[in-house]
Amino acid sequence: MDNQAEFYQKLPKVELHAHLNGSVSSETIQKLLSRKPHLNIKHSMTAIGKGQRRTLDECFEVFKVIHKLVDTEEDILMVATDVIREFAADGVKYLELRSTPREEKETRLTKANYVETVIKAIQQCKEEDLDIDVRFLIAIDRRNGTDVAMETVKLAEQYMLSSEGLVVGLDLSGDPTVGHGKDLLPALQRAKNCGLKLSLHLSEVPSQLEETDLLLHLPPDRIGHGTFLHPEVGGSQSLVDKVVKNNIPLELCLTSNVKGQTVASYADHHFKYWYQLGHPTVICTDDKGVFCTDLSHEYQVAASTFGLSHEDMWRISNQAIDCIFATEAVKQQLKQKWNDLHPQVL
Ligand code: 6MZ
């Protein structure tokens, strides 16, 4: 490992935008492939390697392949524990994992089993004494429409109350070109009213301005991507003003956006716009397995692309603590951890 890579690995980090099934490493994929050789799935179908790019549509096909490989409680438990251990090994001290509860008739997996298995994985990792605090955001896949969204919110509500603080919020994700946010508004409003925190994928693709404007009225607690919010890329000043006025942090995933071709190059990434504005942004991975990255690498790429120093990157990771969905007490513990680690890292 060179000096730079070592610095970013040691830097304590917060990961707030990680889709469970997009985060599966090649090592775990290998284990899944050997469990299900009959599916005839190749490694190249589950990840987008160095220098490769795909359209966003093609990325969503990759998730479908991974879902075929992860369809039992046993698979989910292995995938979730592996992903948590990998984030811990990469220096992530606080992680919010998000995942869409799935029902699989063939393996008799129910959505409740799905959620409980992810919770079990988080609890198992706690017992291993890993230096990482993990929470769970239950995800709505927008392509499944109004009724499923409401059902997902009810499930999230139930587990928010029974998971001892592990389920903290709700994510809205899925193919941004499918469906319209207005159909999901009642479910999202209900989630907000019952105390679930909301992280919504907004303006991940162009031409979603009306939907974004509508959903910003909730308002969400964080925004995923927000690639096309600002006027320089066809967004609008009024959207930016709403985000700034409500101080809504943005979760930014550089490699994901470049490989998924919604952003032309690292230098063109909207990180620059929001960072220069002094608005809270959190560097995240999105799908570390599919996009073959890790959070240390994302920090290193942001620093080298935008000429930021180690001190700047420390500040960015420290400020991410303010954007987490866990309680104020957890924030204070993390701030303390960062203070303790400061002399060893910088
Ligand atoms: C929107 C995304 C995404 O939920 O099965 N997902 N949604 N934009 C993205 N940008 C690339 N990346 C992942 O993890 C996979 C699911 O996360 C969402 C999609 O709904 C995908 O099916 P889970 O753990």
Ligand 1 pocket mutation pick from 17, 32, 59, 60 by most atoms within 8 angstroms of CB: 60
User: Among all chains, which residue has been given the structure tokens 């969400």?
Assistant: 220
Q: Which residues of 95-112 are buried (b: 16+ CB within 10 A; e: fewer)?
A: bbbbbbbbebeeeebebe
Kindly indicate the confidence band of residue 287, based on its pLDDT and cuts at 50, 70 and 90.
Answer: very high
Closest Cα to atom 22 of ligand 1:
63
ipTM of the complex: 1.00
Sheet holding 13-19, edge to edge: 13-19, 92-99, 133-141, 167-173, 197-202, 222-225, 250-252, 281-283
Convert the pLDDT of each residue in 39-82 to its tens digit: 999 989 999 998 899 999 999 999 999 999 999 999 999 999 99
Alpha helices in the chain (DSSP H): 3-10, 26-35, 56-69, 73-89, 111-127, 145-162, 185-193, 209-216, 237-245, 254-259, 271-277, 295-306, 310-320, 328-345
Name the residue with tokens 């991975």.
285
- Angle (deg, nearest 10), helices 111-127 and 73-89: 40
Q: How far is the CA of 19 from the centre of ligand 1 (A)?
A: 6
What is the torsional sign of CA 185, 236, 272, 288? positive
Q: Is 22 near ligand 1, meaning CB less than 6 Å away?
A: yes
207 has a pLDDT exceeding 90: no
For residue 34 the two structure tokens come to 């050997």
- Does this model's pTM top 0.90? yes
Q: Which among 178, 221, 182 has a CA at the least distance from the CA of 200?
A: 221
Q: Is the pLDDT of residue 131 over 90?
A: yes
96-106 pLDDT, tens digit each: 999 999 999 99
Q: How far apart are CA 72 and CA 342, in angstroms?
A: 42
Sequence-ordered list of residues with C-beta below 8 angstroms from that of 86, at least 6 positions apart, any chain: 23, 25, 288, 294
Q: What is the mean pLDDT of residues 96-119?
A: 98
Query: Does 116 qualify as catalytic in the annotation?
Result: no
